[in-house]
Amino acid sequence: MEVVEVKQVTTKTAPRFTGKRYRLDKPELLAPAGNLEKLKFAVHYGADAVYIGGQKYGLRSNADNFSFEEMKEGVEFANRYGAKVFVATNIYAHNEDISGLEDYLRELEAAGIAAIIAADPVIIETAQRVAPKLEVHLSTQQSTLNWQAVKFWKDEGLPRVVLGRETSIEEIAEIKAHVDIEIEAFIHGAMCSSFSGRCVLSNHFTDRDSNRGGCCQSCRWKYDIYEDDIQMVGMDADKFTMSSKDLCMLEHIPDLIDAGIDSFKIEGRMKSLHYVATVVNAYRQAIDSYMADPENYELKPIWLEDIQKAANRPVNTGFFYDTPGAEDHIYEPEDKAVPYDFAGVVVSYDESTGLAVVEQRNHFKPGTEVEFFGPNGTFFKQVVGQITDTSGNGLDAARHPLQHVVMKTEHPVKPMDMMRKRVR
């Protein structure tokens, strides 16, 4: 870890704090992994670390989540790439949640998990006591927003704090100037309409506890609005929603690095495989390009285009530069923002014939316009020609999920490259 001078950079508002702070030599790209397959693709597409959920104590109870055996396999795969695996244990525990906690944490340690992400002091203290090889990272659920609170958690023995989403980039730079600790911040993905996830709408509407992993995303429902028993919205007009636009900081990588953020966190353990791979790939290229030559760094339009091919909602910069206003929320139903659907994954490629075996993930057929992309520079467009099954029988379409289809590609591809199709 080195001490470096904070550069003076231009933001949308005022210049940030200038001083000294501690940071990792290169920011970590931390990706979500809702299941084992997503973990492998996130790491393959460039994540330095992934965060997952186990069968207990996490805030995404509706994700596939991991058994201990799957965790061990995920850790083994990640280690081959020099990546780490973190486990979210970020619920606020009730009395009935405590039973079995010590054994669960010991199992995580035995599985090779590098760190847990925790908010409840009981979980934090228990991990430090019974599983000392596990790092404990403070969850964003603690809503930590100032350097004195960060220092408190450092003094409690935590090496990393995940800041609340409401922290500005100027505040982050000031935190780094005062406290020699790793800072993790969300830089992409869904934003909660409540204060760092402390919403109780789900509890009231569906009896599903947001702070114990059961959020039903009430803010993204469609509502009718009444005033004095008169229906204002919902009868002759589109129904009202109150959800936030998604966060996207891809255009601001230099600012994030100069502020001293150590770990760039992507939200989305419930998102698709295509989303995870696409977003990780874009940020990986941007980070590496900046670190290779900061003085001549330029944002490439294709990175933003790729993000848009995977995103479902409009985006903004969250709280990094200013406080979000009405324009940063979604009040009306949106048109489908994604012009592409995930169509397949390359299983194998024969250089002598130019034939690829593609595992189908969405319906496609001869004549479909597709794109291939991968983490090692693979990117090209083509129209699907003749397709067959693996026995050589001709097919008029790839209709069946996970069906293996043989097709000719116009350029070489690699296993785990992806194919997406243009939606007309």
What is the pLDDT at residue 236? Answer: 52
Mean pLDDT of 227-234: 68
The residues, any chain, with a CB within 8 Å of residue 161's CB and separated by 6 or more, are 137, 138, 142, 144, 150, 153, 154, 181, 182, 183, 184
Q: Which of 230, 229, 208 is nearest to 217 (CA)?
A: 208
What is the pLDDT at residue 218? Answer: 78
DSSP 207: S
Question: pLDDT, tens digit, for every residue of 66-123?
Answer: 999 999 999 999 999 999 999 999 888 889 889 999 999 999 999 999 999 999 999 9
Sheet of strand 355-360, all strands in order from the earlier edge strand to the far edge:
379-383, 369-373, 418-422, 340-350, 355-360, 404-408, 387-388, 394-395
What is the pLDDT at residue 18? Answer: 40
CATH of domain 340-422: 2.40.30.10
Mean pLDDT of 194-220: 72
Indicate where the chain has its CATH 2.40.30.10 domain(s): 340-422
What is the pLDDT at residue 358? Answer: 98
Ranges 36-45, 91-100, 288-297: which has the least confidence: 91-100
* Three-state DSSP string of 30-53: EEECCCHHHHHHHHHCCCCEEEEE
Asked if 387 and 405 touch (Cβ cutoff 8 Å), the reply is: yes
Where do runs of H (alpha helix) occur along 270-368? 273-292, 301-310
At 233, the pLDDT band (50, 70, 90 cuts) reads low
- Matching CATH number, 2-194+245-326, of 3.20.20.70, 3.30.470.10, 1.20.120.450, 3.10.20.600: 3.20.20.70
What is the pLDDT at residue 326? Answer: 78
Compute the mean pLDDT over every residue in the chain, rounded to the nearest whole number: 87
Q: Which of 137, 92, 93 is nearest to 115 (CA)?
A: 137
At 381, the pLDDT band (50, 70, 90 cuts) reads very high
Q: Which of 141, 161, 164 is nearest to 153 (CA)?
A: 161
- Residues 411 and 382: their CA atoms lie apart, in Å, by 9
Which tokens belong to 322?
Answer: 């200013």
What are residue 184's DSSP bridge partners? 162, 263
DSSP 219: G
At 5, the pLDDT band (50, 70, 90 cuts) reads very low
At 58, the pLDDT band (50, 70, 90 cuts) reads low
DSSP 245: P
Percent of the chain's residues with pLDDT above 90: 67
Percent of the chain's residues with pLDDT above 70: 86
What is the pLDDT at residue 4? Answer: 41
| One-letter amino acid of 119 | A
Mean pLDDT of 186-209: 79
Question: pLDDT, tens digit, for every residue of 383-413?
Answer: 999 999 999 999 999 999 999 999 999 999 9
What b/e string do you get for 362-381 counting C-beta neighbours within 10 Å, with b at 16 or more?
Answer: bebeeebebbbbbbeebeee
Mean pLDDT of 206-234: 71
What is the pLDDT at residue 226? Answer: 75
At 329, the pLDDT band (50, 70, 90 cuts) reads confident
Whether 311 has a pLDDT exceeding 80, the answer reads no
What b/e string do you get for 142-181 counting C-beta neighbours within 10 Å, with b at 16 or more?
Answer: bbbbebebbbebbeeebebbbbbbbbbbbbbbbbbbbbeb
Predicted TM-score (pTM) of the model is: 0.88
At 151, the pLDDT band (50, 70, 90 cuts) reads very high
At 61, the pLDDT band (50, 70, 90 cuts) reads low
Ranges 162-171, 185-194, 199-208, 277-286: which has the least confidence: 199-208
Where do runs of H (alpha helix) occur along 142-252? 147-155, 169-178, 201-206
Whether 241 has a pLDDT exceeding 90, the answer reads no
Whether 300 has a pLDDT exceeding 70, the answer reads yes
Mean pLDDT of 264-292: 94
Of 413 and 269, more confident: 413
Which helix H or strand E contains 380, and what residues bound it? strand 379-383
Whether 179 has a pLDDT exceeding 60, the answer reads yes
What is the pLDDT at residue 6? Answer: 36
What is the pLDDT at residue 144? Answer: 94
Residue identified by tokens 């090779």 is 112
At 200, the pLDDT band (50, 70, 90 cuts) reads confident
Which tokens belong to 294?
Answer: 């900061």
What is the pLDDT at residue 420? Answer: 96
Instruction: Please tell me the number of Cα atoms within 13 Å of 45 on its side-chain side.
Output: 29
Mean pLDDT of 193-204: 73
Mean pLDDT of 319-342: 77
Asked if 183 and 167 touch (Cβ cutoff 8 Å), the reply is: no
What is the pLDDT at residue 20? Answer: 40
- Residues 273 and 270: their CA atoms lie apart, in Å, by 9
Indicate where the chain has its CATH 3.20.20.70 domain(s): 2-194+245-326
